[in-house]
Structure 1
Amino acid sequence: MGLGLATGMEFYTFDSVNLVLTDLTGTLGVSADEASWILTVYSCALFLGVPISIWMAGHFGYKRFLLGTVVAFAATSIGCSLAPDLDIMLFWRALQGLAAAGLVMWWRASVYLLMPKPQRSPSLMRISTMLYLSSAAGLLASGYITDHANWRLIFLPNLLYAAGALWLIARHFPNQPKPSAERLVSADWPGIVLLAIALIALQVILNRGEIDDWFGSAHLRILGFVGAGALILFIAWQMSAANRTPLLWLELMRDRNVLSSALLGVLTGMILSGSVFVLPEFLRNVASKTYSATQTGQIMCVYALTAAAIRPLMVGFIARVGQRKAIAFALVMLIMSMLIFNRLLTTGTPGWYFALPLVLYAFCLSPLLPAVGSGTVARIDQNKLLDGVSLYMTFRQFGASLGVALLTILISHRETLHSARLFDHVRHDNDVTRTWLSTVSGTLTTHGGYTPLEAQQASVRMLAEQGAHQAAAYAYADAFAFMAVVGIVALCLLPIVPPTPVQKK
């Protein structure tokens, strides 16, 4: 319960910030592209913090580390709520991501360390159900708080989560001895620095590429060389015999289970971050009926509540059909969900139409995460469990940070493309366009009190706005098609997943 409350705080915050991103842009006075950094900076810090958390837990002790990360996440939540501008918000979000790394890493790792093997799946199931309920709470509560008070208050429920988690962990989490292994006590500072350089370079390129003409820009080319060099040096250093305390135990990638889980983890991270990022942005910014934060949260919570309801059934389902078939089923559900989103997405689509693809998305998440995660540690030694979980979570968080950045780029690029194509057909010499403008101008002149010149100018503005909304709708639909492609790519990786024994009837 304590682990569930601690990690539920992170799930609550992730969905809450994603939901109210539109309100943050207005208050902080930034564009939508700049606001996306609030998500990507957090994801990048979380990605960097996952492997570091193993060393920190070994250095400070497991229980003390868990208590410290809960306090740190709650403190950074207060910092986010008080941030006066984007720069300060990004600072607190980076610290919050580092704190969140310990939560998302150690709730799973603690179960593997503390529970006997037969009890791991039921324990993971109970905590996962709590996490989905926390996501639903974040979507419902943050939407209501934003509409009836202020978005800054959405971070305050984290203090309640933190209080309950601290009390339960302090009382019931067993005191584990510090590990004697040098690599779990000492820090791999060269590895940390190299990984940070590679990650920062990649994220800057992804976020500035569309604006600065990608590698046509000299500073982006330099960043590309620096990032690639840092990544190569990081891999070489992790594999080097001279490195006695590697940040990531890449030797485990020779195990087929770990390799398949790591590769699928990247795509799983993209699915997790990307799929729930696009729909709230569309509903709040593009749909012709502007949805409030409360209404958007009510629509989005369908997936979280469905996932919480069916998650208990997944333990028996995965045991009966095996890991590979469970992943295949989940990916088929994902592809169907994203393709339905792609077909349904128009500026006038009623919100309740999205219930079916959201339910299908829940049927993807519930079996996918436990099936891929459990495969990581299926056949590795007990003393390597932490390293296996760290590898999987690191790759998954890399995919999460990559997913939001790629979708932001894709939407911007496709919106420009669709605008060019759309307005190429909307010209004054087009009979349909002239008829539409004449009808709207006449209506505004007759019923709106406009002069003929004002009515003509207003009708042109209305046409431009309608065209921009249509182009944006096409771009968001393309984003869902992209996520379906991610699911197909993941499906193609299934042959590398080793078959697992299934329960007899």
Structure 2
Amino acid sequence: MQTDTMVEYGSRRVIITLVAMLCAILELLDTTIVNVALNDLQGNLGATLSEVSWVVTAYGIGNVIVIPMTSWLSRQFGRRNYFAASIVIFTLFSFLCGQATGILELALFRFLQGIGGGALLATSQTIITESFPAEKRGQANLIFMMSVIVGPAMGPLLGGYIIDHYSWPLIFYINIPLGIIAVLLTLQYVRSPKYTDKMPVNQVDWLGIILLATAVGALQYVLEKGQEDDWFSNHTITVLSVIAGLGMICFIWRELIYPHPIVSLKVLKNGNLAAGTIFSFIYGFGSYGSTFIVPLFTQSQLNWPATNAGLLVCLTSLSSLLIFPLTNKLLKTGVKPQYMMGTGMLIFFINCYMSSKILTPETGFEVFFYVLIFRYFGLNMILLSISAIAFSTLKTKEIAEGAAFTGMLRQLGGSFGIAIITTFIARRNVFHRTSLVSHLASDDAQVTERLNQLTQSFKGHGMTADIAMNNGLKLLDMTVNKQSTLLSYMDVYIVIGFLFLACIPFVLCLKSKKSIITTDAH
């Protein structure tokens, strides 16, 4: 239980707010900065698409494990000490990420970096909010929301510029000087509340921590490697699936019966919060997953420079700075959050459908830009509505725990979304390739004519008939691969879109009391 006020004034409040914003931006920037580096990492580290996606999801899993424990850890060690230690962990493993020589090593360091980063966002919001008096909490939330928008938006642009002009380790090294500054300022200016409910070490829910980490880690491995290892025909995948299932069941049981749980599941008895956590998972799945696709597609299929791919994501993400106040105002004027969320999901479905139709080998920057701007209208409406519904019937003391659950499920949904999307692309790619090849019969006049044209073209460059024929066949094969991959990306958008469309009837059935508008972003 917190016993003293944390309101700050003057230059001290400004410095504390800037430090908290810097840490929030660093944490969120690292969730997206590697997206535009995936193509480069594949080539430099000799990894497959499935393997390189671990660089993204490992960080998210680290976040997921530590976020629900943040409040408890702050009480145990003091907010300032815990916050400073988290920055040190984040900064140290940023350096080690840049030193990695293999994809598994990099994924491990990203996981540990995520352990440190998970506390930065959740604690930054608390620090900013409590530094302002109650009548200015709206201003505090707006400041924090700017960090939430700017961090993910700048990540792809900064990452793209680094990839095009330098080398991939620098995307991690840039955290080091900023992290050092943040640690020094935190120790100097950030205060810790006085808590009266610290827990003795012998009462710590160590088993709950181990079960949560084991279950989430095992499930993530299954989702990432299942496609590559032929799912349950592989002994490791089967064993880890059982471990994930039993681990999660045991974790839930442990948290419900233990007198001092690391995660208080009892708050989920509130129906609106339970619904909010489910929709947070779905939101994370669609939001993170669709963001993951864009830079990957534009670089691997359209051969865009990483800077261009990053600029596209950055500009469209920053549009949220204009969209967010509009959607927030609609909620404040009395529009029911259920209707707002349902409308947002419909807009997102339409956007996914539009996205699938614009994908061609020649799609330009401008087309992507306008379609992605439309996407953020839907996502902002969904995110704010989830917060309004989830917290509308919670008591004040339950809001922090509720925010941790929605944040954890959103991050978990994003990690699972990326893992499932990479598997889905691989499977659909095989399906479409098989289908396309079945139509390329050797006695087909059009196929024969196309092959002859290619052969003659290569012979015109001085090649022998045999070499020209082989090169013609290779070029046809490359064309088939490119087309099957394009169709696979189209399928991903359609599936994500229909997932959101199917949720609309359930959203409209929700009930909410007077809304508590919050810019939750844990």
Checking the alignment, whether the CA contact within 8 Å between 1:303 and 1:358 is kept in structure 2 is yes
Classify the secondary structure of the residue corresponding to 2:438.
helix
CA drift of 1:130 comes to: 2.6
Judge conservation of contact 1:55–1:184 (CA < 8 Å) in 2: no
What secondary structure does 1:144 align onto?
A: helix
Aligned pair 1:333/2:333, yes or no?
no
> CA offsets, 1:205-228, max 9 Å, x none?
212221232223333323222221
CA contact (8 A) 1:445 1:452 kept: yes
- Counterpart of 1:498, as a letter, is K
Match of 1:390 in 2: 404
Name the residue aligned to 2:519.
none
Letter in 1 for 2:410: R
Q: Which residue of 2 aligns with 1:291?
A: 304
User: C-alpha separation between the residues in 1 aligned to 2:306 and 2:57?
Assistant: 21
**Greater alpha carbon shift after TM alignment, 309-318 vs 97-106:** 309-318
8 Å contact from structure 1 (residues 44, 97) kept in 2: yes
* 1:379 alignment partner AA: T
Question: Does the 8 A contact of 2:339 with 2:508 survive in 1?
Answer: no
Partner of 1:308: 321
Question: Are residues 1:476 and 2:489 paired?
Answer: yes
Which of 27, 38, 44 aligns to 2:61? It is: 44
TM-score, normalization: structure 1? 0.92
TM superposition shift of 1:184? 11
27 and 202 in structure 1: CA distance in 2 versus 1, 3 angstrom threshold: same
Matched with 1:225 is: 242
**Structure 2: 5+ residue stretches without partners:** 1-17, 517-522
Percent identity of paired positions between Structure 1 and Structure 2: 23
Amino acid at match of 2:476: L
Query: Match for 1:499 among 495, 512, 519?
Result: 512
Tell me if structure 2 keeps the 8 A contact 1:207–1:409. yes
Match status 1:159 vs 2:176: yes
Whole-Å Cα distance in 2 between the matches of residues 225 and 148 of structure 1? 45
Q: For the residues of structure 2 that align with 1:170 and 1:326, how far apart are their CA atoms?
A: 42
Structure 1 distance, partners of 2:202, 2:191, is: 19
Q: Shift of residue 237 of structure 1?
A: 1.3
Equivalent residue number for residue 51 of structure 2: 34
Using the TM superposition, give the Cα deviation of residue 172 of structure 1 relative to its aligned residue in structure 2, in angstroms: 5.1
Say whether the 8 Å CA contact 1:147–1:293 is kept in structure 2.
yes
Gaps of 5+ in 1: none
Contact 1:125 1:312 in 2 (8 A): no
The letter of the residue matching 2:78 is: G
Deviations 1:283-329 (A, max 9, x none): 11122xx1111111122223212112332333322212242233223
Alignment of structure 1 residues 65-104 onto 2, 5 Å: 65-104=82-121
Aligned to 1:201: 218
The CA deviation at 1:52 is 2.4
Does residue 449 (structure 1) correspond to residue 462 (structure 2)? The answer is yes
Cα deviation code 1:224-253 (max 9, x no counterpart): 22221121111111111xx11112211111
Structure 1 residues 450 and 422, CA gap change in structure 2 (3 angstroms): same
Pick closer, same or farther for the CA change 1:183–1:302 going to 2, 3 Å.
farther
Give the structure 2 partner of residue 350 of structure 1.
Answer: 364
Aligned partner letter, 1:433:
V
Q: CA RMSD of the aligned region, Å?
A: 2.3
Identify which of 444, 455, 473 aligns with 1:430: 444
Against the structure 1 CA distance between its residues 491 and 125, is the aligned structure 2 distance closer, same or farther, given a 3 Å change threshold? Answer: farther
TM-score by length of 2: 0.89
2:520 maps to what in 1? none
Amino acid corresponding to residue 469 of structure 2 in structure 1: Q
Q: 1:234 aligns with which of 251, 255, 271?
A: 251
Q: CA deviation at 1:125?
A: 2.5
Q: Which residue of 251, 264, 267 corresponds with 2:266?
A: 251
**C-alpha separation in 2, matches of 1:118 and 1:481:** 45
Q: 1:323 aligns with which of 337, 341, 348?
A: 337
Residue equivalent to 1:265: 280
- Structure 2 letter corresponding to 1:35: V
Counterpart residue number, 2:195: 178
Matched residues in 2 for 1:92 and 1:58: separation? 27
